[in-house]
Structure 1
């Protein structure tokens, strides 16, 4: 046991899950009630050849899930906020959604959360923050690009558009400028929405609904986070750190800029 612990390297970046460590070429994470459903999804992705997600190794002697370690960088950097990186991210999300085709959407065991009112079409990641997208340089050099997703704890059946809106919340970003990372503070959000939708292949019908669904998601995410914060833990820390206020400011910013954003999409 001591030898194993000595080789554990803590991994930082997530907001919700503590105790994530690297051991050699694997990642060890505390198991949760959604772990069986997530493992089934990851095994399905491996079976269909989607290479943008970790592989399931199993469980260790401490009851933690064991996944393959995916090398690269996460977080917002100069190369991750370019138009090229955003288009690549949209393409990777489209490949992920397409890869979930054939996977059961009726199973239980997923982590709850805000969602669309329309019938589920895919399994969404539902938490593609910059910390959950891994970038690396291609073999021929050049800037790093997104190639994999990690941390599927909040994955669940949903619509394509809901997962797209959740992703754009962080990457467009759909937020008040005061809450944006410096690298994204002055970007043209409407142009980035259109670029992402073009690269993904979002239908005209879904483009017309995107702003409306973003507003609905803000409202429901606020309620979900407030409820989870009441139970303590990291959700309470996020709430105390201003998560609710940031959601409210983002929703207000969206209301002000709705017509401008919609014009970019249709």
Structure 2
């Protein structure tokens, strides 16, 4: 690391640093596909993603540095913020609906998607959401790839609305409704989302368990830190499907 490089704080991917107004990330087989996606988002006017800026002399991915803070400062998003985050995801999905990946496209499929409707972020959560001067911006696109709107929404709703077992279920149901209304989800997709919440959280828990068994980082570390949370959250979400469904009717 040179004198100009500043390590980023928080739960950051190893090797990611800030250099001036840019972020430098180690590249993977999927980086060219991610760059193509980010270029598309910039070209269609979607402001909620950093601009790709090519490679540096060390071969690292160079991205626009987006100033701001990640996560809700008070530990939870206000209702109006939840609605606006839901709207951000709707804008993202509209922006990626006509994206044509380069051939051959390579993606970092950390958790297998439940379909390939369009390209999604796949880790839209408070730790990857920056409250910036230009509005909400999603960062860390390394897990982007084909998926479905509902699979992405199930993960984002649970994490953004804080639908864990430590929050009263009825409060979580109301926060879920606000988030989903902000997205504009309609029709049969609403009860389908209610039933998918627990399955998506369990997919995360399964990923951490595999990482722990195989010694793969950062999943083994996250399993030690948060594995019990994801297991309890999946069980909690499955136990209250009727409540989630009622809230979204």
Q: Normalised by the size of structure 1, how large is the TM-score?
A: 0.85
SS at match of 2:119: strand
SS at match of 1:170: helix
CA-CA distance at 1:222 after TM superposition = 2.3
SS at match of 1:78: coil
Partner of 1:6: 3
CA-CA distance at 1:116 after TM superposition = 4.6
Partner of 1:22: 18
Cα-Cα RMSD: 2.2
Partner of 1:167: 156
Change (3 A) 1:265 1:82: same
SS at match of 2:238: helix
> More deviation in 253-262 or 45-54?
253-262
Whether the 8 Å CA contact 1:110–1:154 is kept in 2: the answer is yes
Q: How many pairs does the alignment contain?
A: 247
Partner of 1:90: 86
Partner of 1:190: 173
Tell me, in whole angstroms, the C-alpha distance in 2 between the residues paired with 1:256 and 1:195: 21
Tell me, in whole angstroms, the C-alpha distance in 2 between the residues paired with 1:34 and 1:255: 33
CA-CA distance at 1:218 after TM superposition = 2.6
SS at match of 1:5: coil
Partner of 1:148: 137
Tell me, in whole angstroms, the C-alpha distance in 2 between the residues paired with 1:19 and 1:116: 27
Q: Gaps (5+ residues) in structure 1?
A: 139-145, 178-183
CA-CA distance at 1:79 after TM superposition = 8.8
Partner of 1:234: 218
> More deviation in 104-113 or 85-94?
104-113
Whether the 8 Å CA contact 2:77–2:161 is kept in 1: the answer is no
Map 1:104-143 onto structure 2 (within 5 A): 104=100, 108-117=105-114, 119-136=115-132
Q: Gaps (5+ residues) in structure 2?
A: none
Partner of 2:188: 205
Describe the superposition over 1:73-98 as per-residue Cα deviations: whole angstroms up to 9, x where unpaired.
11221396101111111111111111
Partner of 1:219: 202
Describe the superposition over 1:185-232 as per-residue Cα deviations: whole angstroms up to 9, x where unpaired.
898110111111111110221111112211221332222222233143
SS at match of 2:188: helix
> More deviation in 161-170 or 6-15?
6-15
Q: Normalised by the size of structure 2, how large is the TM-score?
A: 0.90
Q: Alignment partner for residue 103 of structure 1, among 99, 110, 118?
A: 99
Whether the 8 Å CA contact 1:115–1:217 is kept in 2: the answer is no
